[in-house]
Amino acid sequence: MDSISATEAAHRAASDAERIVWVDERDQVLGGLPRAELRQRGLIGRGTFILLFNGAGQLCVHRRTLSKAIYPGYWDTAAGGMVQEDESYALSASRELAEELGVAGVALREHGTFFFDEPGNRLWCAVFSAVWDGPLRLQPEEVLEVRFIEPRQALAEAQGGAPFCPDSLQALRLYLGQA
């Protein structure tokens, strides 16, 4: 079992207690449930994925911390997370981008939704993108490191066996028109 800091443990406990939007297979809202209960019961929540590009068109990919409940240590092609009970997809996307990468006040473009269904990770997902050339402020409980690469390089690395989050890869494919 990985050892985690007290700060990471507190963050994990708080995120497990968050009330997440609970939806059905058609993305119709059924209510809100704690994150841990949603996962334990195999129910469907909502998530956001924000593809962050620099002005040269390179995609920001980040490596998740080892304390993450799902896909620990994996590369992620998008900032994002679960939509809280009182949020829209867009509000969640804006909040998550600010929390994880320190990017706020940037225009978000919507690119559609998709359903992702894997044991322990059942989500209706909304995909957004943004362009940012300013500094990043990484959330230490979420992000170990970042790098900017060509979007198709992320797909190639994943196909070659590099550990990438499958849900954010699907978001990238939707963005690239390959979904």
What residue segments make up the domains of the chain, in order of their start?
A: 6-176
Answer for the pair 20, 38: CB distance below 8 angstroms, yes or no.
Answer: yes
Low-confidence ranges of the chain (pLDDT < 50): 1-4, 6-13
Residues forming beta bridges with residue 20, ordered by sequence position: 33, 84
* Alpha-carbon span 124 to 38, nearest angstrom: 13
One-letter amino acid for residue 25 of the chain: E
pLDDT per residue over 50-89, tens digit each?
999 999 999 999 999 999 989 999 999 999 999 999 999 9
The binding site comprises 96, 100
Answer for the pair 99, 136: CB distance below 8 angstroms, yes or no.
Answer: no
Query: Cα angle vertex 66, ends 63, 68, to 5°?
Result: 90
pLDDT for 116: 97
pLDDT for 109: 97
pLDDT for 38: 93
CATH class of this structure's domain 6-176: alpha beta
pLDDT for 2: 44
pLDDT for 120: 87
pLDDT for 15: 52
pLDDT for 11: 47
The binding site for Mg(2+) comprises 96, 100
pLDDT for 18: 84
pLDDT for 10: 46
